[in-house]
Structure 1
Amino acid sequence: MAAGPFGTLRTQRRAPLKPALLMLAVIAGQMRSPAQADPAERVLALGGAVTEIVYALGQGDRLVARDTTSTYPPEAAALPDVGYVRALSPEGVLSVAPDLILAIEGSGPPETMEVLRAADIALATVPEGYDATAIVAKITVVAQALEVPEAGARLVAEVEAALAGAIAAGRTQTPPRVLFILSLQGGRIMAAGADTAAQGIIELAGGVNALSGFNGYQQVSDEAVLLADPDVILMMDRSGEHAAEATDILTHPVLGQTRAAQTGAILHQPGLLLLGFGPRTPQAVEALSAAFRQAQG
């Protein structure tokens, strides 16, 4: 088992598996011997930021598949899709016969990850996080797993320099108070608290989270939103049942009363760019900082 500063290439075995899952593991073990010394050539990326990093390192030609969240760069869309990163099936993952899996922390479900570990497929867990240090850790782990440390060091230097510049340029005397809305399904407000990618990017861009007192993404009360009275409302560009347009905010009985709605400070940003915390985070910070300044007049 090879360990690095941020992650581990796992080939260890865990608790005994159910017979059906064990059979899948045996089949996967026949696809590739863990003793193989050559660099991996059939790489599966799980996590949008992970896939972006692989391409940014110039290693996109080694990818044989990706997960549903991996939507950038555009050429990633041509790869087979093994499913949503937190709802993977062993069959879907093993069907692309990877010899290396790069999985963002939290990939799952746990039963699927147990099958993959028992199959002795090289698996690098890429740590999740929502600050500059986390981006460096992600790049470092992926570059180590792909055996391109020099390219990783160059990419880290580029991203660190660009991010520092974007953060410095985005500072204002009065940080805007920002409400990030994940969903408005059924009129219920699902918003971001602490320890979220949303709060992380808001802070890097020079704002502050308008809500406090809870972690993760949770449904919040009308009273909490009215008390927060955000300067800016931020949402992802998205489609489907979780999508929300500016008109939905303006006509909402609670959100329509906020300062953000009354001044028209309602922002939409691409989801993976905004919340991915990958190589494009400096661009996300620049775009969001500019939007904050414009919203504040």
Structure 2
Amino acid sequence: MQAFLKTGFLALLLAAPLPGAAAFASDGQNPKAQRIVSIGGTVTEILYALGAEDRIVAVDSTSSYPPGTRGKADVGYMRALSAEGILGKTPDLILTEDGAGPPDALSILKASEIPVVTIDTPPEGSAIAKKIRDVGHAVGLDEKAAVLADKTDRDLKALSETVAKLPEKRKRVLFVLSLAGGRIMAGGKETEAAAIIEMAGGINAADGISGYKPLTDEAVIGARPDVILVMQSGNHGVKPDEVFALPAFQSTPAAATRSLIQMDGLLLLGFGPRTPEAGRALAAHLYPEAFPG
């Protein structure tokens, strides 16, 4: 449970906007950059998908995929960066997702004259292709990025067509970000969680709130979730007994059927090249009869 809670808190910080953070234009091109510091799990994942992994000298702690990222130097958590630590890697390009910080550290990095490119990361499937193209453009790999972006769009369209054929009765899904002290933090509207649930053919049970916010027991009961969705925490996933023992869940339809889905956090919420895979995997959990095998 502790590992799950820590991962949930991390995802919350990743998802919420950082007040006062400067967003630099994502239009710079640096085709000769060979010492890239990549900050943000999805940006790092895209760089690997474009074949630029050998140009990465360091990543942040949210960069957990692919497994090869573990062999890179770690500059820390993307919301608590040290400018000195990053500059110590002698990068010739700093590539970061929108929301990295703190603002003071980003200001120092920008003043260093090392190119800093920030990639917009809206929680929308329709924005993934642009994200891929922005990363590719930043490192001079526009053609490869265009191919990957087009494939991702095709895969998203195929998933949408499959989901459109699902039965009319859709399942209500409650994404639980954390259960710290029995306090349920859920994903409401305008979040990656809401977007992936909709993409998979579900109904976000917490659509009465915006962002990631705590829910009272009464609100959880009123949400009537058929399924509880959580992030897998390494090798220590939360157990159904731990979730459904909480009073808020005991009278929900999800508790009656013991319906708990666990998925890797970056896969589920990253909104990168693997998002069609994530959406299909979630849909298969929700509607196994429509996704045989």
TM-score with structure 1 length normalisation?
0.85
Q: Which residue of 1 aligns with 2:195?
A: 200
1:118 aligns with 2:108: no
1:255-294 alignment runs, 5 A limit:
255-294=249-288
Matching residue within 7, 26, 34 for 1:7: 26
1:229-240 alignment runs, 5 A limit:
229-238=224-233
CA distance in 1, matches of 2:159, 2:226: 21
Change (3 A) 1:43 1:107: same
- 1:88-112 CA distances to partner (integer Å, 9 max, x unpaired)? 1112211111111110000101011
1:159-198 alignment runs, 5 A limit:
159-171=152-164, 172=166, 173-198=168-193
Tell me, yes or no, if the aligned pair for 1:205 and 1:285 is still in contact at 8 Å: yes
| C-alpha deviation, 1:159, in angstroms | 0.8
Q: Quick one: higher RCO (CA 8 Å, sep 6+), 1 or 2?
A: 2
* More displaced stretch, 110-119 vs 247-256: 247-256
Tell me, yes or no, if the aligned pair for 2:31 and 2:138 is still in contact at 8 Å: no
Q: Which residue of 1 aligns with 2:13?
A: none
CA distance in 1, matches of 2:91, 2:185: 37
Q: Which residue of 2 aligns with 1:29?
A: none
Tell me, yes or no, if the aligned pair for 2:199 and 2:279 is still in contact at 8 Å: yes
| C-alpha deviation, 1:260, in angstroms | 0.7
Q: Which residue of 2 aligns with 1:246?
A: 240
Matching residue within 80, 84, 87 for 1:87: 80
Q: Which residue of 1 aligns with 2:207?
A: 212
- 1:137-190 CA distances to partner (integer Å, 9 max, x unpaired)? 210110000011111111111111112112222342222111000001111101
Tell me, yes or no, if the aligned pair for 1:183 and 1:244 is still in contact at 8 Å: no
SS at match of 2:80: coil
Tell me, yes or no, if the aligned pair for 2:130 and 2:149 is still in contact at 8 Å: no
CA distance in 2, matches of 1:94, 1:208: 44
Amino acid at match of 2:230: M
CA distance in 2, matches of 1:231, 1:41: 49
RMSD of aligned residue pairs (Cα, Å): 2.1
| C-alpha deviation, 1:69, in angstroms | 0.4
Amino acid at match of 2:245: T
Tell me, yes or no, if the aligned pair for 1:167 and 1:285 is still in contact at 8 Å: no
| C-alpha deviation, 1:239, in angstroms | 5.5
Tell me, yes or no, if the aligned pair for 1:265 and 1:295 is still in contact at 8 Å: no
1:147 aligns with 2:166: no
CA distance in 1, matches of 2:158, 2:102: 38
Q: Which residue of 1 aligns with 2:4?
A: none
| C-alpha deviation, 1:295, in angstroms | 9.4
CA distance in 1, matches of 2:120, 2:87: 22
**Unaligned stretches of 5+ in structure 1?**
1-5, 11-36
**Percent of residue pairs identical:** 43
CA distance in 2, matches of 1:295, 1:194: 28
- 1:67-122 CA distances to partner (integer Å, 9 max, x unpaired)? 00000001111000100011111122111111111100001010110000001111
**Count of residue correspondences:** 265
Tell me, yes or no, if the aligned pair for 1:9 and 1:125 is still in contact at 8 Å: no
CA distance in 2, matches of 1:57, 1:239: 26
